[in-house]
């Protein structure tokens, strides 16, 4: 990727400064996990059986463990290593649970974690075309993240996304008993998981709200979770649950922090609910679409600042 500085209308290329050591890459990414990915660091160099995990992290949104591995070279198999780490996790859940409780000084139980949403992240300066293509499955629990550092203390981090037509990886594992066994225990949520249970009208309504939210700003990501779909930019902005005949939205700010002049939202700060934030809105049509988008825009201004 080429990076430029705008010098009074003239673009000046910023030179790349490759990481000298894999450990330099690791320390930078690990120290900024919460800011970059919204993940909670658990332990660096976590030993498991005869190996070790570069970084063990926890996703507070999905309640799942995330394994992160860092690479400087390009000669390795994403799929083989990714599923090896997932296998180690699923076979040694107690070790992960104990490590989390000791590090975070808490007493969570095995059932408090969602093991089905465990993931492996590979972080590297670049990936080969083969590595990218081998992970181009919409529900693969393996993610690729590129990181580059440049002059002027500039760092660029981006996820290698899946293509819109990416198939399910479960269609490609017929010949691997080990991977199939892991796939039966891991579930990467997709939008299809939510829309297939919703009514046609609700799905169409969701698409209208989705389009409107994505048009509010560049860089908003759609992140399906098990119980809802999140829209994120740095952190969650709004979450949606597709019901049979309605949509539920949760705006991710404390109640009272935005101006809901029409009073269409409900304060759920002290009530159990799926999504993040204290504002809950239930809609059955698009009559308030533009007004709700104005509320989301208020949330966006707070979460992006």
- pLDDT tens string 250-282: 999 999 999 999 999 999 988 888 888 899 999
Confidence of residue 50 (pLDDT cuts 50, 70, 90): confident
* Together in a domain, 125 and 213: no
d(CA 60, CA 39): 7
Query: Could you tell me if 43 and 160 lie in one domain?
Result: yes
Q: Kind of pairing, strands 64-70 and 51-59? A: antiparallel
Q: What CATH number corresponds to the domain at position 279?
A: 3.90.1150
State which of 183, 203, 226 marks the end of a domain. 183
- For residue 192, pLDDT beyond 60: yes
Q: What's residue 175's pLDDT?
A: 58
Q: Are 298 and 254 in contact (CB under 8 A)?
A: no
pLDDT in tens, 99-122: 999 999 999 998 999 999 999 999
When pLDDT is cut at 50, 70 and 90, the band that residue 49 belongs to is confident
Please report the pLDDT score of residue 235 as a whole number: 83
With a cut of 60, say whether residue 93 has pLDDT above it.
Answer: yes
For 148-184, the pLDDT digits (tens) are: 999 989 999 999 988 888 888 877 665 567 788 888 8
Percent of the chain, pLDDT > 70?
98
**Residues 273, 237 share a domain:** yes
Same domain, 147 and 277: no
Same domain, 109 and 59: yes
H or E stretch covering 5 = strand 3-7
Torsion of CA 132, 22, 28, 96, to 10 degrees: 80
Query: What is the structure's pLDDT at 285?
Result: 95
For CA atoms 124, 129, 130, 134, the dihedral sign is positive
Of the residues 183, 206, 237, which one is the last residue of a structural domain?
Answer: 183
CATH number at residue 96: 3.40.1350.10
Alpha carbons 297 and 78: distance in angstroms, whole number: 38
pLDDT band at residue 240 using 50, 70 and 90 as cut-offs: very high
Find the helix or strand (DSSP H, E) in which 56 lies: strand 51-59
Q: Which residues contact 156 (CB under 8 A, 6 or more apart)?
A: 1, 3, 146, 147, 148, 149, 150
> Cβ neighbours of residue 148 under 8 Å, at least 6 residues apart?
1, 16, 125, 155, 156
Looking at the fold, whether 161 and 249 belong to one and the same domain comes out as: no
User: Between the CA of residue 61 and those of 12, 57, 204, 257, what are the distances in Å?
Assistant: 40, 12, 26, 22
Q: Are 122 and 144 in contact (CB under 8 A)?
A: yes
- Can you give the pTM of this predicted structure? 0.83
Q: Tell me, yes or no, whether 286 and 251 share the same domain.
A: yes
* Cα Rg of the chain (Å, integer): 21
Could you tell me the residue range of the domain that residue 201 belongs to?
191-303
- Reported as a pLDDT band with limits 50, 70 and 90, residue 32 is very high
Asked whether residue 176 falls in the same domain as residue 218, the answer is no
How many folded domains does the chain comprise? 2
Beta strand 119-124 pairing with 142-150 = parallel
What values do phi and psi take at 86, rounded to 5?
-65, -40
Rounded Cα–Cα distance for residues 151 and 201 (Å): 51
Residue 233 reports pLDDT greater than 90: no
Considering the domain architecture, whether residues 50 and 145 belong to the same structural domain is answered as yes
pLDDT score at 305:
56
Point out the domain boundary residue: 130, 154, 183.
Answer: 183
Please name which of 135, 237, 244, 130 lies closest in space to residue 188, comparing C-alpha atoms. Answer: 135
Question: What's the confidence (pLDDT) of residue 174?
Answer: 59
């Amino acid at each position: 990727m080429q990076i430029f500085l705008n010098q009074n209308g003239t673009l000046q290329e910023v030179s790349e400064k490759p990481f000298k050591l894999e450990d330099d890459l690791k320390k930078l990414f690990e120290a900024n996990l919460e800011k970059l990915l919204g993940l909670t660091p658990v332990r660096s160099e976590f030993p498991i059986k005869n190996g070790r995990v570069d970084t063990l992290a926890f996703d507070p949104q999905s309640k799942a463990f995330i394994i992160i591995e860092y690479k400087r070279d390009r000669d390795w198999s994403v799929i083989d290593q990714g599923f090896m780490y997932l296998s180690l996790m699923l076979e040694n859940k107690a070790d992960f649970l104990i490590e989390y409780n000791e590090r975070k000084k808490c007493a969570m139980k095995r059932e408090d974690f969602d093991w089905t949403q465990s993931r492996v992240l590979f972080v590297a300066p670049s990936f080969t075309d083969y590595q990218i293509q081998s992970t181009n499955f919409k529900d693969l629990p393996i993610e690729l993240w590129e990181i580059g550092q440049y002059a002027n203390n500039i760092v660029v981090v981006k996820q290698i996304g899946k293509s819109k037509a990416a198939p399910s990886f479960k269609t490609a594992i017929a010949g691997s008993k080990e991977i199939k066994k892991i796939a039966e225990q891991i579930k990467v949520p997709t939008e299809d998981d939510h829309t297939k249970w919703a009514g046609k009208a609700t799905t169409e309504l969701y698409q209208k709200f989705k389009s409107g939210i994505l048009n509010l700003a560049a860089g908003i990501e759609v992140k399906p979770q098990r119980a809802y779909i999140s829209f994120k930019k740095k952190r969650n902005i709004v979450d949606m649950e597709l019901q049979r005949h309605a949509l539920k939205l949760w705006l991710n700010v404390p109640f009272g922090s935005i101006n809901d002049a029409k009073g269409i939202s409900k304060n759920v700060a002290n009530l159990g609910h799926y999504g993040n934030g204290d504002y809950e809105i239930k809609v059955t049509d698009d009559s308030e679409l533009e007004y709700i988008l104005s509320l989301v825009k208020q949330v966006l201004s707070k979460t992006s600042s």
